[in-house]
């Protein structure tokens, strides 16, 4: 059997595969509700009697050694301790690196086109994962090499009035305003707090709605407040579109941009979002030619395990 773990900043997803590569166990844990990752391992293996052959684990932190400190929570991940518990070979990767491995192993039916309809297989591809934070990988599709980056922590350069006010608001508590602090789920919380304090940007109806919304609301719950949801959604798309545009002009990713992550999928899920994304990608200058020729796709995060399973299967066949 095979063990797959995706340790995110907020949640951990565990999948256990049979020897025939079928999912026999799948569960998601809220990190704040468990003691540590070893507690999750014990819970996941309660009813599993057959020995494991291999474990593939992604971690929301730089993976530079066998002992990793998670970025957002006070967890230590020790490869040797995991090997003792699972009694099998263990590979540890950065979580977005592991996500990109999954994308490499998905066929084209899993790529939802935002711009262009053909996923080129040659050249540089950039994956942007929008979740609790923002993870970015750069991939050379011809050499099958993946480079995890800290691009989500690059500084935000406001290009519109609301973006300027929003970044100034963030700077009250931090001298550095990253893309991640504006348009990940952390950014959603910051934006809700911002509007509660700066209601001049809102209509009377939106003011009424913002007063009802908890600052810790997630994007799925926010969608119940339709008018406020659409307004905030457009702001986030505007910020993310600027980030994508910068990645295109910086990397010239001929093989395209792939957007995934739970937050990102909800953000781009319907055809209206295609129009919004294009609206903010295009700046009406000569660089638009480069931007328009770059394929942009969404991958539903629910399809990512399919890529992991294929990767594990390929390792042992």
110 located within any domain? no
pLDDT of amino acid 131: 78
Q: Which residues pair with 138 in a beta bridge?
A: 126, 147
**pLDDT range class, residue 153, cuts 50, 70, 90:** confident
253 and 148 both lie in a single domain: yes
pLDDT > 70? residue 148: yes
Q: Note the pLDDT tens digit of each residue in 46-74.
A: 877 778 999 999 998 888 899 998 877 88
pLDDT > 80? residue 183: no
Backbone dihedral region of 213: left (phi > 0), alpha (psi from -120 to 50 degrees) or beta? beta
pLDDT > 50? residue 271: no
147 located within any domain? yes
pLDDT of amino acid 49: 73
Interatomic CA distance for residues 302 and 291, integer angstroms = 28
- CATH code of residue 40: 3.30.420.40
44 located within any domain? yes
Under 8 Å between Cβ of 312 and 4: yes
40 and 145 both lie in a single domain: no
**pLDDT range class, residue 267, cuts 50, 70, 90:** low
- CATH code of residue 229: 3.40.367.20
Q: Which of 36-40, 84-88, 113-117, 302-306 has the lowest mean pLDDT?
A: 113-117
Under 8 Å between Cβ of 195 and 202: yes
106 located within any domain? no
Interatomic CA distance for residues 185 and 217, integer angstroms = 9
pLDDT > 50? residue 115: yes
Structurally, the chain folds into a number of domains equal to 2
Range of the domain at 11: 2-94+304-315
Interatomic CA distance for residues 8 and 60, integer angstroms = 5
Backbone dihedral region of 125: left (phi > 0), alpha (psi from -120 to 50 degrees) or beta? beta
Interatomic CA distance for residues 37 and 45, integer angstroms = 13
Report the Cα–Cα distance between both ends of the chain, in Å, rounded.
14
260 located within any domain? yes
pTM for this prediction: 0.86
**pLDDT range class, residue 216, cuts 50, 70, 90:** confident
104 located within any domain? no
Backbone φ, ψ for residue 271 (5° rounding) = -70, -25
192 located within any domain? yes
């Amino acid at each position: 059997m095979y063990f797959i773990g995706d340790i995110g900043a907020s949640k951990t997803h565990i999948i256990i595969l049979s020897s025939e590569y079928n999912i026999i166990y799948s569960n998601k844990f809220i990190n704040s509700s468990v003691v540590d990752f070893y507690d999750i391992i014990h819970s996941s293996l309660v009813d599993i009697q057959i020995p494991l052959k291999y474990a593939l684990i992604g971690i929301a932190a730089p993976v530079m050694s066998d002992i990793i400190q998670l970025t957002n929570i006070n967890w230590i991940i020790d490869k040797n301790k995991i090997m003792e518990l699972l009694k099998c070979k263990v590979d540890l990767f950065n979580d977005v690196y592991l996500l990109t491995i999954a994308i490499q192993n998905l066929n084209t039916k899993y790529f939802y086109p935002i711009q262009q309809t053909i996923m080129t297989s040659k050249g540089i591809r950039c994956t942007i994962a929008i979740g609790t934070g923002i993870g970015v990988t750069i991939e050379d599709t011809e050499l099958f090499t993946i480079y995890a980056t800290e691009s989500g922590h690059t500084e935000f350069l406001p290009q519109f009035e609301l973006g300027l006010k929003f970044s100034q608001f963030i700077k009250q508590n931090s001298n550095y305003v990253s893309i991640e602090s504006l348009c990940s789920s952390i950014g959603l919380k910051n934006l809700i707090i911002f509007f509660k304090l700066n209601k001049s940007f809102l209509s009377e109806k939106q003011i009424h709605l913002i007063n009802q919304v908890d600052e810790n609301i997630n994007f799925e719950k926010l969608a119940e407040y339709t008018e406020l949801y659409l307004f905030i959604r457009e702001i986030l798309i505007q910020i993310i579109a600027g980030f994508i545009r910068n990645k295109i002009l910086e990397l010239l990713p001929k093989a395209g941009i792939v957007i995934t992550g739970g937050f990102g999928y909800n953000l781009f899920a319907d055809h209206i979002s295609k129009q919004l994304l294009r609206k903010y990608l295009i700046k009406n200058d000569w660089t638009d030619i480069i931007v328009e020729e770059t394929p942009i796709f969404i991958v539903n995060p629910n399809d990512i395990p399919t890529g992991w399973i294929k990767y594990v299967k390929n390792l042992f066949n």
